[in-house]
Chain A
């Protein structure tokens, strides 16, 4: 089952890959900061609204099956640092 046929990677391909990896690192850092820092306060509000909706309209268990979550089931935010991009 050759999903990849064995071949020697050319010098040009090595150089191309190196450049792309460097650019991806920079792209990742920008995204990571934007998601984990810049919009963190906005996301806290979205989470608050979500936790409210699943107690009133319901939580999607499967397809159109909804279950209203009881107040005592609502998770508490842990003290550790919160991030969404890993």
Chain B
């Protein structure tokens, strides 16, 4: 994803703008948090005016919505603060009303924001991937199950997990007087928004309510502190692994090289296989349909035929 390193950014410092893209009814306002300059994928704080209504419709891109204030009326039910919806591309949602307006977060993951009026799914839609949950009421806090793990006092609720990429969306909290004295970086891009509270990182200082970051892979962050507690939404674009260390001055290139060296130590056989010849295009037998080129055409690979022992010239 081609998004620059936006860290920190506090949305309270900028005004809402009117959404003018075709398809969206009037009354939608947004603050851009980060944007992929190639695809138009983006993360926004949004505000819908009182009485805002959307007809049944779909998005061309997978989309995630988190409600911070207000409520949505949909299918005869009220969906209030904490509501999280992950809408796969092409899946039609029923008509929605926001009698008193809402504020929330809106993420378009693979393309620019779009809304197409439709009461039926697109033929390519994967409805079974639709997620609707109230993160406040329906889920409980759990410790992070990473190894190595964040320090005690940082807890998560998993909202979405992608089986193929292991990208996930999660709510997290830090307890009052949370601290973690190490420096971390990941192989994935990471993004977060503070719904409430202030935390501190040694590189970037304090991130208050409304604070946001989009951090590309291999960038140092931490040590961490939080005096009064924090509630936030986080997302990654692939598997999150905590590469901890205590050298404040390493660069992203050095961190990536260290991650590669660690991969060699942890998975030597796989590392060597991938690094040999042209094997840096492996296919997953569980997700063979995931191979598309830039035009969206399926790419067939010899590995899919089970020819795993061939040699490259």
Contacts and interface: CB of A to CB of B under 8 A. Distances in A.
Contact of A35 (B40, B60, B204): B204
Nearest to B110: A4
Interface residues on A, range: 35 or more
A5 B90 contact: yes
A60 B180 contact: yes
Contact of A5 (B37, B124, B248): B124
A86 B6 contact: no
A20 B202 contact: no
B296 interface: yes
Contacts of A1: 126, 164, 287, 289-290
Interface string A39-53: 100110011001101
Interface residues of B, number: 61
Given A23-B32, A50-B223, A62-B147, A69 B203 contact: no
A13 to B, nearest CB: 5
If over half of B's interface residues share one DSSP class (helix, strand or loop), that class is named, otherwise mixed; here it is loop
A64 B148 CA distance: 10
B62 A60 contact: no
Interface string A42-84: 1100110011011001111111101001000001011000101
A3 B62 contact: yes
B257 interface: no
Interface in B203-254: 203-205, 216, 219-220, 223, 244, 246-249, 251-252
B21 A12 contact: yes
A43 B42 contact: no
A39 B110 CA distance: 34
A15 to B, nearest CB: 9
B60 A61 contact: no
Given A42-B205, A47-B202, A63-B152, A10 B62 contact: no
Given A23-B32, A50-B181, A3 B109 contact: yes
Contact of A2 (B6, B124, B247): B124
A43 B246 CA distance: 15
Top-10 shortest CB links A-B: A62-B148, A4-B110, A84-B203, A75-B247, A63-B149, A60-B182, A2-B124, A3-B110, A5-B60, A4-B111
Given A4-B61, A24-B37, 6 more contacts: A5-B89, A13-B40, A47-B202, A63-B148, A69-B246, A86-B216
12 contacts: A4-B39, A13-B112, A20-B35, A24-B6, A35-B7, A35-B204, A47-B202, A47-B248, A50-B181, A60-B244, A63-B150, A86-B5
